[in-house]
Every structure is written in structure tokens, then in C-alpha cells.
Amino acid sequence: MAHFEILAAAGLTRDDFAGGTLVLRSPIDGAELAHVRETSLSEMTAVIARAKSAFEVWRLVPAPRRGELVRLLGEELRAAKSELGALVTLEVGKITSESLGEVQEMIDICDFAAGLSRQLYGLTIASERPGHRMSETWHPMGPCGVISAFNFPVAVWSWNAALALVCGDSVIWKPSEKTPLSAIATHRIFERALSRFGSDAPEGLCQIVIGSAAIGEALVVSRDVPILSATGSTRMGEVVGPKVVARWGRPILELGGNNAMIVAPTADLDMVVRAIVFSAVGTAGQRCTTLRRLIVHHSIKDEVVGRLVKAYASLKVGDPREADVLVGPLIDKKALDRMQGALDAARAEGGKVHGGYIVTQGVPGGAYAAPALVEMPGQTAIVKSETFAPILYVMDYETLEEAISLQNGVPQGLSSCIFTLNMREAETFLSATGSDCGIANVNVGPSGAEIGGAFGGEKETGGGRESGSDAWKSYMRRQTSTVNYSVKLPLAQGVKFDI
């Protein structure tokens, strides 16, 4: 299907991709896709004002009714799954099944949030004072800004927007300037849900703004945007987080990951190899949960590396729309250059590199590389850094304590896993003395989290949580109330203050 046909099938008109100043090229072949209109900085005041006005109306709509809008969004996403998935592939370079999987994540979080709209529970709390009742209530908080990254151009918005909407908040979305077309198409899908929903959804409930960091900065510093969810690099979070906190806002930060797998002597190696290849190579290594460090017991390291070298050699690199391709392009040439720079650094630090070379034959253009497997003498400086590319560093260990120390010995703390059939090792890994990451798996790779669990990590990953479990609490404010239904006025803690 021609590029124009993919854009049109996803609901985009010529006004959406012609006449603007932001030039987009597909990472698949480098072909020019669009000239997208950017939001001007002068427009942001009005955008934020509309979001604030929309919030003041939306917070009064009963939560189950708000959930109905999200349910309708899920229906519209189901109807548009293949078209939106094709656009994600075109704009990001993901293989088709991964792009469809990303849209399925959006559908899943809509299902979750629709049910959640009837479960925004508070607590009833025992009071120490006779004739008193204490309770906890959750209230809508205000406009939620969402700054998303290129690698999941639509799912991350849905994690935030579906929850924010049922919680009574309005949403302003700034997608990556590398992937605005997928965002525009998603906004069209949301508008279709709105048209079916009815008139109690206010104008400006969900808005999209497109542009460079200055547009995101307007959301970051605005006191009228109390919630700011930002996905990106640790460097970005170091700038965004303090600015949001400084004006008393609430940051939800999803930042860098440097995820590890420990492979114990008892591990099922057939499962291990399958888990490693998907986790390390999926999305061309451009997931925040990509497997980047492999910590293998010394007794099986040679066998594991041998199996991986063979498996990597069988992977076809090329156009991600082809059915037998598992490795698509990196997002652009800068990403390819960073990958090659990281491999040079690994060699300088004593690493032995398998693969990792630039691929120019049999690809339609774009920035393609073979996945790299790098045997390292230890956890050197480059291993502790996150490179957004298909590079897997391999180290060995002697004791479980040493392996966990290596696992935790990096600044990032997103996802982690261990492959073992030893119950003690598994439980130790999940204990307070085990993995220090927000996600810790046993016999499951670090990549591909389900929406039912809270997603996020510790340390330089930012500490934020999105998606499932009780992540919804980040989009609401908590209020503790005490009701005195007695005829007396006792004070807490036995304080006497008679007048």
C-alpha cells in the first residue's frame, strides 16, 4: 500500500500532512511522508485554558458515565486497529505484529478503565473519637499533560488518557515530533467516540499539540496543568521533573531503562533463548523495557552465547511490513550512529562484538543494523548506559548474590527478570534483597508488560506508574474527611482544650 493510502486509511486528510513546517520521513525507506503543521507557542495559552474549562465541566459528570466515553473509544480502536497499526509501522518502523500489539494495548486499557470508572474506591477508617466517622474520597485533579516518545507513539497516550478521563481530568497530548501522524490519527478516532458519546463531553476535553520541546515546556511550567506525564530519556526527566515539582505539580515520569536478565544454571535454555531474542531485538531494541544486559552463570555462558549467535544470525533485517522480517529499522540515522558509537566504546572496554554491523543490502533504505551481542569482561561504563538500539551485553557470574549485585548496579531501575527452576533463587530475586526494579519477572523476559499491572520503575527511571493496578490514583487528589454525628466534640489524641 502506498504511503498516501496508509495515511488516508487511518483517517488523515491532506490538511493533516501537507502545508506545515515539520517534515517527516518514514524510517522504513527515508521517503517523505508529510509536512505537518506545528502548534505555535502563542496558541498554548488558549489550549491550556480550554483544557481547564473542560475539566471544570467534566469533573461533574458521574464517573461511570465518563467510563462510557472510554468504552466507546475502545470500540472505535477495535474498528480501526489494522489501519492505525499500519500507520505506526510506517511512522516508527515496527514490524506489523508489534504495531498491532500496540493498538491492542490501547484497546485493553480502555476495557480496564471502563471497568475502573465504577471502582474509584476510597476507604472508611475507624476513628478514635466516639460518634465520628472518617473516610477517604478521591476527586478529579485537573488537566493532565501527556508528553510521549516515538517508540510507543499511541499506547502511552492511551495509558494516561483512559485513566485521566475516567478520573475526571481533561488531557493535552504532545506526541514526539518524530511521530505526530499516529497521534493525529488517534485523535480522529477519539473524535469519533466523542460524536457517539453525546453533549455532556465538553469542548477541549482532549487536545493535541505538535511541535518541539518549547511546546512541551509550556505544559511543564503551567500551574493550570497539575499532572504532567512524560515519557523519554533520563536527561529529559532531569529537566522536566524539577520544573513540575517547583510549581507544585505532580510529575509521572517514565524514563530510561537498562534491563537485565539473570540466567541461572537450572534455567530452561530453550525458553531463555526465545525470551532473549524477543526482549533484546523487538522494536529494533527501541523499547524502554528492551533487554540490554544478560547475566549468565559461568557454567552455561558459552552454551547460551553459542545459541544466541546462531539465533541472531537467522534473524531477517529489512522492511518491517514483510511477514518474515523480525528486525526493522532504527528511527533515524542519528540512532544508528549512536549504536555504532556504543559498539566502538564496548570494544575499547574489552568487549567482543557479534553482529551489530550496518545493513545496506536487501533493505529499502532507512537506518538498518544487525542486532549486536557483546561479550563483556564486566559491567563497564558503556554497559551502565542505555543505548536505544539492539545491543545486548553479556556478562557471567558465580553466585546469585553477585548476579543480583550486577543487576542492581546501574542507575536505571525499570524492568528485570531471572530464569531459574530453583524456587529459592526465584523468591530471593523477588524479595527485598533482590531486584530493585519496578518490574521483576521470573521465567518471563523484561519486555512486553500487560496493562493490568502498574508500569514504571525506580531510580533514574523516574518512579512514576501508569496503566493498571492503582496507577489511577496519580490522576486524582485524595481527601480525608471526618464526620461528627454525636452531640459532643472530643479532640483526637486525648487533647483537652476546655473553654
Beta strands in 227-367 (DSSP E): 227-231, 250-254, 259-263, 291-297, 352-355, 358-359
Q: How far is CA 494 from the centre of its chain?
A: 49
Contact 384, 411 (CB under 8 A): yes
Cα torsion 336, 342, 343, 345: sign: positive
Give Rg (Cα) of the chain.
24
Residue in 254, 375, 425, 466 annotated catalytic: 254
Contact 293, 261 (CB under 8 A): yes
C-alpha 164/C-alpha 59 separation (Å) is 11
Grid coordinates representing 348 are 575499547
Active site residue 386: no
Residue with cell 551485553: 393
Closest CA to 325 of 366, 273, 272, 265: 366
Grid coordinates representing 198 are 453525546
Active site residue 288: yes
Number of other CB atoms surrounding residue 399 within 10 Å: 9
C-alpha 73/C-alpha 77 separation (Å) is 6
Closest CA to 252 of 485, 471, 425, 496: 471
C-alpha 194/C-alpha 177 separation (Å) is 25
What's the burial of 242, exposed, middle or buried (CB within 10 Å: 0-12/13-18/19+)? exposed
Grid coordinates representing 484 are 461528627
Beta strands in 202-290 (DSSP E): 206-208, 227-231, 250-254, 259-263
Alpha helix (H) ranges present in 282-332?
Answer: 301-313
C-alpha 216/C-alpha 172 separation (Å) is 10
C-alpha 39/C-alpha 219 separation (Å) is 13
Grid coordinates representing 24 are 517527516
Q: What are phi and psi of 75, to 5 degrees?
A: -65, -45
C-alpha 83/C-alpha 245 separation (Å) is 39
Residue in 288, 386, 417, 466 annotated catalytic: 288
Element (H, E) at 334: helix 333-348
Alpha-carbon distances, residue 125 vs 128, 133, 136, 140, 440 (angstroms): 10, 7, 8, 21, 32
C-alpha 44/C-alpha 41 separation (Å) is 6
Tell me which residues are annotated as active site.
254, 288
